[in-house]
């Protein structure tokens, strides 16, 4: 890594790290931990820039899942045999580890199959409360979050469909309206508009910590404060932390949101596992969504009583080996942070983000979504993730050419059609980094991209 400052702005965090004699993070030191990064694609070494879609897993995660399946696997929270007890212990231990990853207590963490399931859980729980199925003793608490005719659910224009469609459906079922906070040209949220959209009729404010298209870090505390100001604290605040969890240290209780979700497969863990964090009072007041075994205390032919959270929200068989492997992913990331220092990891993230965005800006015929014509004055906090369009070449064709050079990126609308419409397009290309992404990866990507327009005869 160069110590020559190209611009003070670009390298300040990194040089400060080095000047202070602190360790600098070099992703080359961890790449050998990820077997998949060694594959070749179309005869070229893989350059994996699609971590925002799914991250690659270190051997420690793969081994943890296999070890569990080979030595402990059995049903948790039932059965009296030795393996069942050990499996339960590992499963609950994983909950504590993953809760710790986001600054939460174990009982504040509900296992889900992923962020989409977590968001649906909250939306359907409120729908059940709207249908009169509040948790006995918590009717008043939940009532303030339940939308009805004339009420609003506030989201942003930049949401992933997973944090939009469940709310549209809840609104349709309850007679409420969904209103969206607009996005500025530089990719930031219009907070003045947010202030006006949030009113005493706001029942839910649901937004992403980091947009999966723009990479902009939204001001969570400020939005939570705006919601509190407008409603006196009665709106339920819901955070989609899918794209922040892989890039930033998270302390969800400190952010002040009521609930938050993230997915395991974006933080070096397996598919099919994710988590929903909730403040204790909030989880206690939310009625269950999925019903069945493992979430009840007493069942008769007339009705059932439910377990307290988190088990209340974990009906049926849980993805146990995936939970254990997700905990291994958290342990792995903690070990890397302990070895290099969180500041060094953040400095690297920032350097990659700058390299990616500035590199794209410098190529002719490229339009960045959320940073059109350099509208970002440098003060916007972002992670290393950027969507863009190539003038005269459709995103699919761009992706195909990059693939021929071994470069894996995402093309399409990235499950954010309203945001693409807002930026006047239907599809874009997205490059996104992970803990293992090197400056060389970004260089290869930019070089491959620079030949795309001439291949298609538009430059």
Which candidate in 96, 363, 415, 439 is catalytic? 415
Residue 242: active-site member: no
Contact between 404 and other proteins by CB under 8 A: the answer reads yes
Are the C-beta atoms of residues 323 and 272 closer than 8 Å to each other?
no
Q: Pick the stretch among 21-29, 134-142, 364-372, 399-407 that binds other proteins (CB under 8 A).
A: 399-407
Select 21 or 457, whichever has its Cβ closest to other proteins. 457
Look up residue 204 and give its two tokens.
């839910």
Beta-bridge mates of residue 211: none
Helices 439-450 & 395-404 angle (0-180, nearest 10): 120
Look up residue 35 and give its two tokens.
């077997």
Select 161 or 228, whichever has its Cβ closest to other proteins. 161
With tokens 């504040």, the residue in question is 108
Angle at 432 between CA 33 and CA 448, to 5 degrees: 95
- Min separation Cβ 457 and other proteins, Å: 7
Among the listed residues 266, 420, 430, 453, the single contact to other proteins using CB under 8 A: 420
Select 10 or 455, whichever has its Cβ closest to other proteins. 455
Cα 214 from Cα 383, distance rounded (Å):
9
Contact between 401 and other proteins by CB under 8 A: the answer reads yes
Taking CB under 8 A as the criterion, which residues in 26-55 touch other proteins? 42
Among the listed residues 22, 191, 397, 418, the single contact to other proteins using CB under 8 A: 397
Task: Determine how many CB atoms are found less than 10 A away from the CB of residue 216.
Answer: 26
Residue ranges with strand state E in 273-350 = 274-278, 296-299, 304-306
Select 234 or 400, whichever has its Cβ closest to other proteins. 400
Q: Per-residue x/- marks for other proteins, 193-222, CB under 8 A?
A: ------------------------------
What are the helix (H) ranges across 131-164?
139-143
Among the listed residues 427, 439, 450, 459, the single contact to other proteins using CB under 8 A: 427
Contact between 411 and other proteins by CB under 8 A: the answer reads yes
Give the three-state DSSP class for 54.
coil
Select 158 or 189, whichever has its Cβ closest to other proteins. 158
Look up residue 13 and give its two tokens.
């965090």
Are the C-beta atoms of residues 119 and 274 closer than 8 Å to each other?
no
Active site residues: 415
Q: Which residues are at the interface with other proteins (CB under 8 A)?
A: 42, 393-397, 400-401, 404-405, 411-413, 417, 420, 426-427, 455-457
């Amino acid at each position: 890594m160069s110590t020559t400052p190209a611009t003070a702005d670009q390298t300040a965090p990194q040089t400060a790290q080095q000047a202070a004699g602190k360790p600098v993070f070099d992703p080359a030191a961890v790449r050998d931990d990820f077997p998949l990064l060694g594959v070749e694609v179309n005869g070229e070494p893989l350059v994996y820039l699609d971590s925002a879609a799914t991250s690659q897993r270190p051997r420690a995660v793969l081994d943890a899942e296999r070890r569990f399946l080979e030595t402990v696997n059995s049903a948790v929270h039932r059965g009296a045999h030795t393996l069942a007890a050990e499996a339960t212990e590992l499963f609950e231990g994983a909950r504590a580890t993953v809760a710790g990853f986001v600054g939460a207590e174990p009982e504040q963490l509900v296992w889900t199959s992923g962020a989409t399931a977590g968001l649906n859980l909250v939306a359907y729980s409120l729908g059940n409360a709207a249908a009169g199925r509040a948790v006995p003793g918590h009717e008043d608490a939940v009532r303030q979050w339940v939308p009805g005719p004339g009420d609003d659910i506030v989201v942003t224009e930049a949401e992933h469909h997973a944090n939009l469609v469940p709310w549209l459906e809840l609104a349709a079922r309850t007679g409420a309206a969904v209103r969206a906070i607009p996005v500025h040209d530089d990719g930031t949220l219009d907070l003045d508009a947010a202030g006006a959209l949030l009113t005493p009729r706001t029942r839910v404010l649901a937004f992403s910590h980091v947009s999966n298209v723009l990479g902009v870090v939204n001001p969570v505390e400020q939005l939570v404060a705006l919601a509190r100001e407008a409603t006196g604290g009665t709106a339920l605040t819901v955070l989609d932390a899918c794209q922040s969890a892989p890039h930033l240290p998270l302390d969800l209780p400190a952010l002040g949101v009521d609930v938050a979700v993230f997915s395991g497969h974006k933080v070096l863990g397996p598919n099919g596992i994710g988590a929903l964090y909730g403040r204790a009072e909030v989880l206690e007041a939310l009625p269950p969504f999925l019903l069945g075994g493992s979430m009840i205390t007493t069942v008769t032919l007339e009705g059932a009583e439910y377990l307290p959270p988190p088990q209340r929200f974990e009906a049926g068989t849980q993805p146990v080996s995936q939970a254990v492997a997700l905990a291994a992913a958290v342990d792995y990331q903690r070990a890397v942070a302990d070895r290099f220092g969180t500041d060094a990891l953040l400095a690297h993230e920032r350097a990659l983000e700058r390299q990616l965005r500035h590199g794209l800006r410098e190529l002719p015929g490229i339009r960045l979504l959320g940073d059109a014509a350099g509208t970002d004055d440098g003060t916007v906090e972002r992670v290393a993730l950027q969507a863009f369009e190539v003038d005269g070449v459709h995103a699919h064709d761009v992706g195909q050419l990059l693939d021929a050079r071994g470069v894996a990126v995402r093309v399409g609308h990235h499950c954010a059609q309203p945001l693409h419409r807002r930026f006047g397009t239907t599809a874009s290309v997205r490059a996104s980094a992970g803990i293992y992404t090197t400056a060389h990866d970004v260089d290869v990507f930019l070089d491959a991209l620079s030949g795309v327009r001439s291949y298609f005869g538009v430059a």
